[in-house]
Each structure stands twice: as structure tokens, then as C-alpha cells.
């Protein structure tokens, strides 16, 4: 088990900023890796959304425990019939998502949001990301996350080189 930070104090952890204003809605959040255990396929992290800043469109393949530490978490979850379900979680609220959760858009409230995620990925895959048209999914594993963190890269960001290698 590797612990990166023994605290989840947003003032003391290392943050990595993810920003893309070419997408609609605007991707704007920071994240910090707290720790991971490759053997047990666990990964814990913090997410800090800018006010109304969004994540990339994705779904959690890993079972994910979420606690809202500050602000709000907003989700627009795409249901199997194509409709959307809106979810708002406020400071102190807890949620547990199963393996293979539904695709969703996720963002902070008007004041942003600070969340802790604790994920268990029995098949090593944490997330599945989608392009702006909610198509062309690609998977992202715990191994990918740890590699990108250790090399200073931004997690899950599909670079031109990875697209060329995949295509």
C-alpha cells in the first residue's frame, strides 16, 4: 500500500489542475492522489471542482465511495432509457456507487465542491471516458493513474500520442 498524503486537508495536499475550455461544458477541476494499493486494487483521491467546473464525461467502472467534504457535487446521470437523472449532494453527504455505474456529467455547485473518492476496481479499470459526443469510450486503470501521477501527467487525459497508439 502506498500513501501519498496522510491528510486530506485541501491546503496541504499536492493538487493537479485539469482545465479545458474548448469543451462544453467547461472542464475545470483539481485532483490529488491520497493513496493506492495495486494488490487490492484500491485508489483514494480528492477532487476539487471550481465553481460550476465540470469533470470530463465518464462513468465509474470501480465501486466508488464518495463523501462531499465541502460545497456541492452535481451529477446528470444518463439512464438506460436515454433520460437523465439529476443528483445534488451537499457537504457531509455520502454515496456508494456500484461497479459499472451509469455515464454522467459531474460538476461542483456555485461555490465549487471538495470530494473524497475511495475506489475499488476488481478488474483494475477505474473510469471509462467519453468524447464530447458521448461516444468513443476509452478505459483508464489504476495502473494508468499511478503511472501518470508519478510522471507528473494529468490522469485520463487522452493525448495525441495515446490516440495514435490506440488507432
| Domain extent listing, the chain | 13-154
- 42 pLDDT above the threshold of 90: yes
Under 8 Å between Cβ of 43 and 121: yes
Q: How many other CB atoms are found less than 10 A from the CB of residue 158?
A: 14
Domain 13-154 annotated CATH 2.60.120.10? yes
Cell readout for 155 is: 490522469
pLDDT in tens, 115-129: 999 999 999 999 998
Task: Compute CA 57 distance to the chain's CA centroid, rounded to the nearest angstrom.
Answer: 9
Please list the residues that pair with 78 across neighbouring strands: 84
Per-residue pLDDT band for 94 (boundaries 50, 70, 90) equals very high
pLDDT of residue 155: 67
Smallest CA-to-CA distance from 73 within 84, 53, 89, 60 is with: 89
Q: What is the DSSP letter of 26?
A: P
pTM: 0.84
pLDDT in tens, 10-36: 788 899 998 877 777 788 899 999 999
Amino acid at each position: 500500500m502506498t500513501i501519498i498524503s496522510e491528510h486530506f486537508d485541501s491546503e496541504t495536499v499536492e493538487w493537479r489542475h485539469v482545465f479545458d475550455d474548448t469543451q462544453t461544458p467547461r472542464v475545470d477541476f483539481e485532483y490529488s492522489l491520497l493513496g493506492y494499493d495495486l494488490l487490492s486494487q484500491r485508489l483514494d483521491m480528492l477532487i476539487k471542482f471550481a465553481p460550476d467546473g465540470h469533470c470530463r464525461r465518464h462513468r465509474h467502472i470501480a465501486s466508488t465511495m464518495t463523501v462531499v467534504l465541502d460545497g456541492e457535487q452535481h451529477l446528470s446521470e444518463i439512464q438506460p432509457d436515454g433520460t437523465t437523472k439529476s443528483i445534488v449532494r451537499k457537504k457531509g453527504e455520502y454515496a456508494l456507487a456500484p461497479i459499472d455505474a451509469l455515464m454522467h456529467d459531474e460538476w461542483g455547485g456555485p461555490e465549487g465542491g471538495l470530494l473524497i473518492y475511495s475506489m475499488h476496481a476488481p478488474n483494475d479499470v477505474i473510469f471509462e471516458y467519453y468524447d464530447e459526443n458521448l461516444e468513443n469510450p476509452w478505459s483508464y486503470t489504476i495502473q494508468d493513474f499511478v503511472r501518470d501521477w508519478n510522471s507528473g501527467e494529468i490522469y485520463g487525459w487522452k493525448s495525441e500520442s495515446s490516440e495514435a497508439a490506440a488507432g
